[in-house]
Amino acid sequence: MPFTLRGDDVCQITQPSPIPNPYWVAFSASAAELIKLETGRDGLPIEASWLEVLAGNQLDAGQTKFSDPIATVYSGHQFGVWAGQLGDGRAILLGDINGLELQLKGAGRTQYSRMGDGRAVLRSSIREFLCSEAMHALGIPTSRALAVVGSKQAVRRETMETAAVCSRIAPSFIRIGHFEHFASLQNVVRLKELADLLISEFYPECSPGKDPYLNLFKEISTRNAKLVAQWQSVGFCHGVLNSDNISALGLTIDYGPFGFLDHFEIDHICNHSDHGGRYAYQRQPQVMHWNMACLASAMLPLLELEYSSEESQALLRSALEDFSVIYAREWQQLFRRKLGLQSQQDGDVALIERLLQAMHDSQVDFTSFFRGLGDLKKDSMPTEIMQRNDFIDRPNIEKWFADYLVRLQSETISDGARKALMNQINPKYILRNHLAQDAIEKAQQDDFSEIQKLQQILSQPFDEQEDFDHYSKPPPIDMQRVSVSCSS
């Protein structure tokens, strides 16, 4: 869907800045299919000029021609503080292709770059590419990554690094920050245009009858409530849940200092710049709820077109309260499935919470534990379960296993069928930080084979893949405390 809003107060036509001697670092044939981009046996575009397009060096590739690429303006709250005007500081929207937006991240300065250089580096581009595609394979709504194009052009961050451009695809990159921007300017005309665009293209169910803008808010909030529940279920930490990083379509976007949990810590912080732990793992649902409150505030003028200010506030407040209910319901359903529970019983939430607390106390590997839980038999003895050896408080976890086995025995499903279902929700493979780091270090030496291998493994995260079993293991001790910088 093309971003059809135009005007200097909405976006600026922005030409990408070329990079010298571009080369392929990574490419997703799966994402290419979405835009009907034909690839050859090598998995790369048959039309060779796509390398130059995705590097930001030209705008035409064969029959595909982009005109008037843009950067959009938005505002937002960063770490809970109003940051004022922001915008696409290093993202340039090339245009629409097969109904999807194609955007270049790292293709040079825009009018909203402020003090930045508009570039991305190889390190962060590889991480975004791998994680976007990994999240898609996990079934979690996300922008897609089409390619990473590298260059030996120097870019200064904490040290000197090399430039890269990550091309990404989404139905739309509209953010909560777009609403906040026009609300902050009291520009109700633009607010209405933005909301109407979303309704017509993505939320047609909100259009019939009364209250389209209230219904739009409810739908955006619902999608993001379900999204963050999915993050929690796979141990994904976004790292920077600023309101300008939240999609109006409920997609995971803006992969920066993200991280998947290895050993389980309820208060894990993946971003070393997050000194107060605002975006720690257990706070993600609360922060997403807070971001929906920012959206509600921004959309208030739209409701006031039909209702008084007091009525509008009451309606949005009531709708906002639904977020916690929807999130809790989704979270409980996901974790029941992770435990192999088909039915719903009153004690399930307490059982889940007891397990997570025990995992936190012993810092048990999140992914490996849930994957291994599928091997458990209903007639197992708690004192004979090997997984109990991962816990410090042995009597406590044995009591938990005893209660869990009783709960399993109340289900009619067989052990084999239960394991098959559990293996469809508990991945064996995730993008662990140490695996990404290994791929990055090799790529910095012009060896991109590890990126391709990880891309292949992570495209089938629920399969056994015996040849790659070691990629499912927890990180070595010296890599267990890796945190990631915001700089990219």
Reported as a single tens digit per residue, the pLDDT across 337-377 is 999 999 999 999 999 999 999 999 999 999 999 999 999 99
Nearest-5° Cα angle at 161, 155 to 165: 65
Tell me if 472 is assigned to some domain.
Answer: no
Q: Do both 313 and 226 map to the same domain?
A: yes
Say what percent of the chain tops pLDDT 90: 91
Does pLDDT of 210 surpass 90?
Answer: no
Higher confidence at residue 6 or residue 401?
Answer: 401
Tell me if 469 is assigned to some domain.
Answer: no
Does pLDDT of 98 surpass 80?
Answer: yes
Tell me if 391 is assigned to some domain.
Answer: yes
Q: Do both 302 and 243 map to the same domain?
A: yes
Distance CA 7, CA 29 (A): 35
- Catalytic residue set: 244
Tell me if 194 is assigned to some domain.
Answer: yes
Q: Do both 15 and 153 map to the same domain?
A: yes
Residue 424 token pair: 């469809």
Name the domain boundary from 337, 369, 396. Answer: 337
pLDDT band at 476 (very low <50, low <70, confident <90, very high): confident
Q: Do both 327 and 181 map to the same domain?
A: yes
Q: Domains in the chain: how many in total?
A: 3
Distance CA 113, CA 116 (A): 5
* CB-count burial class (<10 Å; 0-12, 13-18, 19+) for 35: middle
Name the domain boundary from 311, 337, 363. Answer: 337
Distance CA 192, CA 46 (A): 42
Q: Do both 403 and 327 map to the same domain?
A: no
Can you give the residue range of the structural domain that contains 314? 176-337
Distance CA 93, CA 170 (A): 11
Q: Do both 97 and 154 map to the same domain?
A: yes
Distance CA 253, CA 245 (A): 7
Q: Do both 275 and 230 map to the same domain?
A: yes
How many of the other CB atoms lie within 10 Å of CB of 34?
18
Distance CA 94, CA 91 (A): 9
Tell me if 450 is assigned to some domain.
Answer: no
Tell me if 484 is assigned to some domain.
Answer: no
Tell me if 299 is assigned to some domain.
Answer: yes
Name the domain boundary from 170, 191, 211. Answer: 170
Q: Do both 36 and 82 map to the same domain?
A: yes
- At 4 the pLDDT is 76
**What ranges make up the beta strands (E) of 86-140?**
91-97, 100-105, 120-121
- State the average pLDDT over residues 431-438: 96
Over residues 165-186, the pLDDT tens digits come to 999 999 999 999 999 999 999 9
Q: Do both 187 and 241 map to the same domain?
A: yes
Strand partners, 82: 77
Distance CA 133, CA 127 (A): 10
Q: Are 74 and 175 in contact (CB under 8 A)?
A: yes
* CB-count burial class (<10 Å; 0-12, 13-18, 19+) for 69: buried
Distance CA 435, CA 202 (A): 36
Q: Do both 324 and 351 map to the same domain?
A: no
Q: Do both 61 and 190 map to the same domain?
A: no
Query: What pTM was estimated for this model as a whole?
Result: 0.95
Tell me if 130 is assigned to some domain.
Answer: yes
- At 485 the pLDDT is 54
Q: Do both 18 and 142 map to the same domain?
A: yes
